[in-house]
Chains A and B, each alone.
Chain A
Amino acid sequence: MTDTPIDRMARATPPHLARRVRGLSDRAIAWLFVAPTIFLLLAINIFPLIWTVRLSFTNFAANRPGREVEWVGLRNYQRILTDDGIWANMQTTAHFLIWTITLQVLIGFTLAWLINRKFKGNDLLTTLIVLPMMLSPAVVGNFWTFLYQPQIGLFNYVVELVTGTPASSFSMLGAGGLAKWSIIIVDTWMWTPFVMLICLAGLRSIPDYIYEAAEVDRASKWRQFWTITVPMVLPFLMLAVLFRGIENFKMFDMVVLLTGGGPGNETLLASIDLKREAFEKWRTGYSSAYAIILFVTVFGLASIYVKALNKVKER
C-alpha cells in the first residue's frame, strides 16, 4: 500500500488531539471548517453594519473622538429625508440611472442581436466590443478626462467634425449642463458590452426549432422578433437592468475622477455626497443614517434581482 499525505498527517497528529477529533460528529467537523469564514463575515460585514445602524441614531463625529456622543433618535433620518439638497442629489442619481440603463439596454441588445448572426470575424469583434468593460474605472476616468479636453480632446474634435460646432467652444466637463451627459456617455461606453453579453446569452438560449416552427407558420421576421425573441430575452434583459441599476446607484469612482461631483452640484451623485458628509464634513452619525438609507434601497433592489435570477434559472 502507498503512503498518502493524509496517512502521514494522521500519523503526525498528536494522540491526545486525534482522540478529541475522533469524537467529533460530521456536523461538528463541518462547523469547524466553516467557523473561520463565518467569523470573518461577522467581523468584516455584519459588525460594521450593526455599528453603522447604532451610529445613525447618534451625533457622533469621527474627528472628535473625545466629545460626548448624544443619542438623537430618528433626527438624522428626519433631517436627511426632508433635505432639499439630498432630494436634488437623488434626482441627479435618477437621471444618471435612467439614461445609462436606457442607452445600455438599447445599444447592448442591438449589438447582441447583430453579433448573434454568423459571420467572419464574429469572435474578434466580440472581444473588441467587450474591451472597455475590462478596464479599471480609474483608467477610464482618467483617459476620458483627456478625451473631453476642449483644446486637445478627441471628443470635441469629433463633435466639430459631425456638427460643425467649434471644438473649443464647449467643455463637456464644465458648466453648461453637459457634465451630466458626459458621465452618462462614459458609463454607457464602458458597460454596454456587459448588457450585450447578457443579451447574447439570452439570444443563444432560444432553440432554433421555435424559429423553424414560426417559419412554417409563415410568421414574418418582424413578428418572430416581437413574439419569440423579445419575450424570451426579456428575463435576461431584466437581470441586466437590475444589475446595472444596483451598480450605478452606487457609482462613485468614475464620476469622482471625471467631474468630482461638479460643476457646482450638477453631477453630485448620492454616493459622492455621502463620502463628503462622512469624510469632509465629518458628520459621522448623519452620514451613517444616509448610508443606511442607501443600503436599504440597494438591498431591496438586490432582493428583486435575486428573484429575477431565480426566474431565469427556472427556465
Chain B
Amino acid sequence: MEHHLLEIGGVRMSRREDLRLITGAGKYASDWNLPGQLHATFLRADRAHANIVSVNTEAAEKHPGVVRVFTGEDAMRSGYTKPMTMLTFKGRGGMEVLRPERPVLAHGKVRCVGEPVAMVVAESALIAQDAAELIEVEYEELPVVIDPEAALAPGAPQLHDNVPGNVPFDFEAGDAGATEAAFAKAAHVTRLKLAVTRVAPNPMEPRACLVAYDAGTDMYTVHVHVQGVNMMRKQLAAYTGLPEEKFRIMAHDVGGAFGQRSLAYPEYCMQLLAAKQLGRPVKWIATRSEGFMTDSHGRANYVSGELALDKDGKFLGARLDWIADMGAYLTPTGPVSHLRNPSTCLTGVYRIPALYGRWRTVLTNTNPIAAYRGAGRPDVAYVIERLVSQAAADLKMDAAEIRRRNFIPPEAFPYKTPTGSTYENADLPGVLEKALKLADWNGFANRRRQSEKAGKLRGIGIATVIENTGAGLFPRDEVQIEVAAGGTVTAYTVSHSQGQGHETSFAMIVAETLGIAFERVQLRQGDEDHPLFGNHTGGSRSTVGAGSACHLAARKLIEEGRALAALELDAEPSQVEYANGSFRGGESKRTITLADLAKSRVFSVTAQGSFSSTFPNGCHIAEVEIDPDTGVTEIASYVTVDDCGRVINHTIVEGQMHGGVAQGAGQVFGEHVVYDRDSGQLMTGSFADYYMPRAGLVREITMEEHPTPSKVSPLGVKGMGESGCTASLPALTNAVLDALRPLGVQHLDMPLTPAKVWHAIQAARTKQ
C-alpha cells in the first residue's frame, strides 16, 4: 500500500496534526487550567453490592484546604439521577426498556466496586485525596452477582427494584418459526457456546474534566475529551435536566477514545453541580486505577450459537441466544450497540435463509458496559465466524470452501437480510480469492509440516466479515467552510478525531474538491463558535458522514462563490468557470479568487447531508505457531484484504487497520477484565494486572484493498475504523483452534493465554 507523505513547512509528515503532537504541544483534557480552579477527588465504593448505612464527612470537611464534601444526598437533591438512553425501539413482546436510576453519587446502595460515593473539592488535588481518606462509610453488605447467567437465575441478587430478574431489556430479531423449521431439516448442526470476553478499552489518556460556571450568563464551560461535542452536550443535558444550550464543550486533542470517551460520566455532572455551587472552576483528573474501575468496559457477551447445514455444507439457518452483560447500570450506548449492530449483521457475509436471535441484557455487580471499537460488530462476527469454521471442521470441509459456497453473491446486492437490514454492495468472492492468494492458503500444509519438524503446532484461521457503519445519533451531518481574506479555507466539523487524523484526511477532501493546495485548508473540530448539527466520531462513520459533508460543503462553496463572482464580473453565473480556487468569466475574462470574495464579506457556507450505514467488508487470514512446551502463541503472518470503498488516505487507513488488529489480538491473547466471583472485587485493576498488547505482538500485517465504492457517500467511501477489531477476533481464534484441533481441542474461550493453551494441550494429550 502506498505511503502518503505530505510536505508541510519543509518537513515530511504523514499528517497535519503530527507536528504539535510530536513536540509536546498537543492539548489534552488534563492540560487545561483556569484561574482559581479547585480540585476534586472521588471516594469510591470498595464493595460490589451494599446498602449505605451512613457517610460521615465531618473530619474531611474540617481538613485544611477542603472547600466542600458532596455525598449522595447532594446528588439526589440535584435530581441528576437518570442517564440518557439511546434505545428508541421496542423489545420482545413490545417491551420498553426498564431504566435503572444512577444518581451521580451513590445514594442508598452501591452496586459495583468503584462507584463514586462522595466527592471532595479542595484547593489542591493532594489535599482532596488526603481528605477523602478521612471519610467514613458504613456499609451493610449484600449478596453479589458477577456472572450474567447467574444473574438470570431464580433467586439471584436483584440490583434494582424497577428491573425484576435483572433484565432491563429483552430483544429479538428474525423469524423463530422459520428458523426452527430450517433446523428440523438440517443434515448437521454445529453448536458453540462462546464468551466474547469483558475488556477494558484503555485509551492512553486517563479521563479528565474541568468545569467552569458563569453566573452572568448561566453557562457551563466543560473542558473534557469528546468524540463529538454534540453527543456530550446531549447527554449532559439529559442527565442533569438542564437545556442543551447551557453547555459550552471545549475539547482539542483527545488521547484515544474507542467508544469509551463518548459518554457523559457521573463525575462530570458532579463537577457541574460543584462549580455552580462553589462559584469556582472544578478540575478532576482520574488515575488509571479509577479508569479500570469506572471507565466503561466493552464486549462482555455470552452467546450460544447454532448453525444448521445441509449435507453439502450449505447454511440453512442460524440461531443465537445472546446474553449481554450490562454491568450495574445502563450506559447510553451499551444496550443499543450490543443489540442493534449484532442483529443488523446477524447473517454475516452469508446467505442464511432463516435467522433468529434473542438478546437479553442483564445487570450484574460490575462496571457498566458501553460501546468499544466495533460495539457489537466484532462480537457477532466472532460468533458467526467461529461457527462457520467449526462447521467446516465438523464436516471436514476446507474453511475457505465452506465460505465460498455460502457467500451472498455479488449480483444479489443490494441484499436484504432476514433480520431486515440491507447490505449495499460487496464482492465477497473477490475479497476471498485475493486474501487466499496473499496468504498462500494452499501452501499451508507444507508450512505446517515445517513447523511440526521444529516441534511446533501451526494453525491457519480465516474470517470473512461485514459490518454496518453507524447511521448516527443525529439524522444529518453538517460541515461549514469559511474562506478568510488571506486565502485560508477552514472547514468546521462536529466529528472529533481521537487519533484518526481528520485534520489531514478531511482537509484533503476539501482541497481536492476545491482544486486548491492542501496547505491552504485547515480543519477545526467541535469549535463552539461555529455550532453545527451532526454526529460524533463513532461506529466507523466519520469519513462517510463528516467527510462526505466536507465534500458537499466545498461544492456548495464553489456554487455560492460562482454567484458572487458573477455579480462582480457582470456575467451570468452559468458563464463563470471555476478552477483551482479561481473564477473566470464575463467579457473582461478577469479572475476572481475565493480569497477575493472574502475581502468584502464573510464568505462561508454550511452544507448538510444524511448518510445511512455503509457496509465495509473484508477477509483476514492469520497463521499462528504454538510452542506446546510453553503454550506461547506467535502470530506467524497476518493478511488482510478489505473493502472500505474508496480510500482517501492510505497511510491513515493502514494505521487504523494496524491498531484495530492489535486491539483484537490483545483480546484474543490476553486482555480480560476479571472480577472475583464471591466479593465482586476487580482483580485486573492496573496495567500490572491487565494484559495490554505490547510491541512485537503483531509484527507485520500484509494488506491489500478491494474497493467497491459506496453510493451512500458522494466520495464512495465506506468506514473502516473498526474493521481490524471485527475480523481479527475470529481470524486469530480460528487459527489457534486450527493448530490445536488435531490434538482433539474443539473450543477454547478467549483469552488464549499461554497457561490456558498449555493446559488444553496437556489435557488433550492425557486423553489421547
Q: Does A associate with B in a complex?
A: no
Binding site for A on B (CB under 8 A): none
Footprint of B on A, CB under 8 Å?
A: none
